[in-house]
A and B are shown apart, each in its own frame.
Chain A
Amino acid sequence: MDKTFNIIIAGVGGQGIITLLQVMDEAAFVEGFDIKSSELHGLSQRGGSVEAHIRFGKKVYSPMVSNGSADLILALEALEGLRESSKAGKQTKILVNEYFLPFLNSPAKEDIIKQLGETKKDFYLVSASKDCKEKLQNEIVCTLYLLGYAVVKKLLPLKKESVLRAIKNVIPEKYLDLNIKAFELGYGN
């Protein structure tokens, strides 16, 4: 891989963005890449829009993905996916969890999905939250499901084995099994 790979994770504070970021960072580290990532804590974690950035490659300088240069936008929530889509470039693939957290004056889910489809980007809509809730009785691990999906569809240049190792390195013992299951569920989708 010659070019630095750029990822933006978008979602709502409290959805587990930082854990997902840690797993992805670690997986890239396992593969021997240089990595820089950036995240936000505090007020933004209390249910507001949150975006995190990950960049990995031979040598990475800035931790921030510049406008138009994302290779993958991974959204844990539909409206946040749409919001981030304005930062997409020609090469950007957009992976969106079919999950909607409404708030006062937010648009309807159907409109959001429709607009996402109209972005003319390589766009994937996956029912990660729903599947995780049904099959694992836990929604928060939809993050790992989406990662599994992204790996199997080759939306990002990380190997399954590296991600599994990263999960083991990052996730506490107590939740390890659940997270691996979620990853496998997304991978098998």
Chain B
Amino acid sequence: MKKILLGNEAIVKAALAAGVQFVSGYPGCPSAEIGDIIGKVAKENGIYAEWSTNEKTGLEAGIGASFSGLKVLVNMKSFGINVCSDSLFPLAYTGTKGAMVIFVGDDPGCHSSAQSEQDSRGYAYLGKIPVLEPSDPQECYDFTMLGFEISEKFNVPVILRATTRVAHQRSPVNFGERKPGIRPIGEFIKNPRQFSTMPPRTMEMKNELLEKLEKVRQFAEKSKANKVSKRKNKTGIIASGISYLHVLEALETMGLDLPVLKLSFFYPFPKKIVANFIKDKKSILVAEELDPYLEKEITALAKDTNLKLNIFGKNVLPGTGELNSEKICVALSKITGKKFVNNKSPALNLPKRSARLCDGCPYWYIFPVLKRVAPDAIFGGDIGCNMIAGLPPHNMHDTLFSMGASLGISHGIKKSTNQKVISMMGDGTFFHSGIPALVNAVYNRSNPLVVVLDNRITAMTGHQVNPGMGKTLMGDIVEEVKIEDIAKACGVKNIKVLDPINAQDFEMAIKEFLVKDEVSIIICKRICALLARRQKNG
């Protein structure tokens, strides 16, 4: 079949066609559609699918499934790999049993990410895990298939790394159908030699992994996923991911006929292909977004194979923000001397339109009250629609880091000062990583005030279920996990659950709790306005 698909839809189609049986992960931008779509079709296709509480539990669920022989897809955004890395590295050592592809969505340009402009490809080196980089939805499809193939052949997990402009790109995709009769039932056959990283096995496992990676490298050297164009010229371009498409565009714009090597295997690095490509060149442009990983590999390789090669990369292309065809044209113009006129007219000096809270958003009843009642407080901001508190007209965030960090940092400030500190955290974030921070604050006798913005869903990433809702990704009804019960069990003494629309109750609770010597928590429970509207409209 051929249809227009979003990159993430193409990944789902491939996983279905490849016979995936188990899907776990945690939502984020630009990866969330993968879980969202799988959730809708899981039951009819004999798949078990879940939104896990965070990326670590998500990956670990996938590991258990793989060890039981199932075919697994794990999905997350860039920062998710930081969260799950503690289990990711040993997974490389044990290897997989059932094939496993891990999707990681990076967001160059930080369109929908605070925190950092992370280039997750770096984890390939730290974790020693093969990484594939698609450029368009067709490659999202093909490389998901390829990822499963590699994982099956070499018993390694494979990371499929896409950026926003690939995961959220649409174009026509050829795809196949799922075979009937697949079910998510495996068998765990005990084999601690493979599944347990107890030393001294650990060191043996590392050596085994290095041997496997050498085999994957040989596979990569022969793979058609890396593409070399036939053109001949002393100047060439090596590109990966979305940059490859920008390069083709730029060559057309400038009427240049330069040879291009597209590297789809980021790791292990296919040395021979690259050595072959650069051996007769005078100059090379390495077109990669964000960090110069490929550039460094190529520079090292050129020392052995072509000492005189001029390597251009981050000296002509920015390492911050997205690339586009104009930036490539400018770089090519510097390298080839061919003129390029940028059509850019000066940007108009218009005020920025920032993201804002939706009409009727429950947070409208929270942020202004907090600001008014505690004007001197330090506000620990967190991830989610909560981030909008950091934008005008609220401008309330004194810190913004990673999920759950509002409380972790608030505790540190509280211990270091005599100031009032309020940590604001969404319900999804509370379940994701707020709980350890809460235990830490209670245990170490700190006294920040935690305000949980419980809008009854994980909203920002597109309305995914979480443990507080009493519903799973596959639509099953389960018992609600109550934030107040968890807080109580963690030893929090001052707990209030209220609807923030009752401004007086909320105000009184803030005043009362701000002077307490122990950790306090106010759970502001009111449904996300978009969700409420959607439920009403069916």
Q: Are B355 and A86 neighbours in the complex by a CB distance under 8 Å? A: no
* Distance of A40 Cα from B355 Cα, bound (Å): 13
A56 CA to B171 CA, complexed, in Å: 10
From 63 to 111 in chain A, residues with beta carbon under 8 angstroms from any chain B beta carbon are 63-64, 66-69, 79-80, 82-83, 85-89, 103-107
Nearest A residue to B352, CB-CB: A49
Chain A contributes a number of interface residues (CB within 8 A of B) equal to: 47
Residues of chain A lying within 8 A (CB to CB) of residue B350: 79, 82-83, 107
9 A–B pairs (Cβ distance < 8 Å), ordered by A: A36-B136, A41-B462, A46-B356, A46-B358, A47-B353, A49-B352, A62-B242, A67-B344, A85-B348
Contact partner of A43 (CB less than 8 A), chosen from B112, B168, B342, is: B112
Size bin of chain B's contact surface: 35 or more
Q: Quick one: which of A21-45 are within 8 Å of B by CB?
A: 21-22, 25-26, 29, 34-44
Residues of B within 8 A of A186 (CB): none
Please determine whether A46 and B460 come into contact, CB atoms closer than 8 angstroms. Answer: yes
Bound-state CA distance A67–B342 (Å) is 8
Asked whether any CB of chain A lies closer than 8 Å to the CB of B86, the reply is no
Query: Please, how many angstroms separate the alpha-carbon atoms of A88 and B347 in the complex?
Result: 11
With A42-B30, A66-B326 already in contact, the answer to whether A47 and B355 are too (CB < 8 A) is yes
User: Are A43 and B111 neighbours in the complex by a CB distance under 8 Å?
Assistant: yes
Task: Name B112's contact: one of A44, A60, A85 (CB within 8 Å).
Answer: A44
Interface residues of A (CB under 8 A from B): 12-14, 21-22, 25-26, 29, 34-44, 46-49, 60-64, 66-69, 79-80, 82-83, 85-89, 103-107, 115
- Extra contacts, 6 of them, besides A42-B111, A61-B252, A63-B171 (Cβ < 8 A), are A14-B358, A37-B170, A38-B169, A40-B111, A104-B392, A107-B351
Q: Which residues of B contact A88 (CB under 8 A)?
A: 345
Contact residues in A for B302 (Cβ distance below 8 Å) = none
Closest CB of chain A to B82's CB: distance in Å? 18
Are the C-beta atoms of A40 and B356 separated by less than 8 Å? no
In the complex, chain A residues whose CB is within 8 Å of the CB of B245: 36, 61-63
> Contact: B324 with A42, CB < 8 Å?
no
Q: Complex Cα distance A123/B170, Å?
A: 28
- Taken together as a complex, chains A and B put the C-alpha atoms of A86 and B349 apart, in Å, by 10
Q: Which of A25, A44, A63 contacts B355, CB < 8 Å? A: A44
With A21-B170, A46-B388 as known contacts, state yes or no: A63 contacts B165, CB within 8 Å.
yes
The answer to whether B286 has its CB under 8 Å from any CB of chain A is no
Q: Is the CB of B112 within 8 A of A41?
A: yes
Chain B 158-176: CB-based contact to A (< 8 A → 1; otherwise 0):
0000001100111110000
Question: Which residues on B are within 8 Å of A, measured CB to CB?
Answer: 3-4, 29-30, 32-33, 111-113, 136, 164-165, 168-172, 242, 245-246, 248-249, 252-253, 324-326, 342-348, 350-358, 385, 387-388, 392-393, 460-462
* Cα A106 to Cα B353 with chains together (Å): 8
Tell which of A12, A41, A46 touches B168, judged by Cβ atoms closer than 8 Å: A41
Tell me how far the C-beta of B469 lies from the nearest C-beta in chain A, rounded to whole angstroms: 20
A56 to B301 CA separation, bound complex (whole angstroms): 39
Q: Please classify the interface of chain B as helix (H, G, I), strand (E, B), loop, or mixed, using the class held by over half of its residues.
A: loop
- Residues in B whose Cβ lies below 8 Å from that of A106: 351, 353
Q: Give B392 Cβ to nearest chain A Cβ, in Å.
A: 6
Q: Pick the most buried of A12, A13, A64: most chain B CB atoms within 10 A of its CB.
A: A64
A21 contacts across to B, CB distance below 8 A: 170
- B351 surroundings in chain A (CB, below 8 A): 103, 105-107
Contact B164 A86 (CB under 8 A): no
With a CB–CB cut-off of 8 A, which chain B residues contact A38? Answer: 165, 168-170
With contacts A36-B170, A67-B342 known, is A41 near B29, CB below 8 A? yes
- Least CB distance from A109 to B in Å reads 13
On chain B, the residues within 8 Å of A14 by CB distance are: 358
Is the CB–CB distance between B248 and A62 below 8 Å? yes
Contact in complex: B248, A43 (CB < 8 Å): no
The answer to whether B348 touches A83 (Cβ under 8 A) is: yes
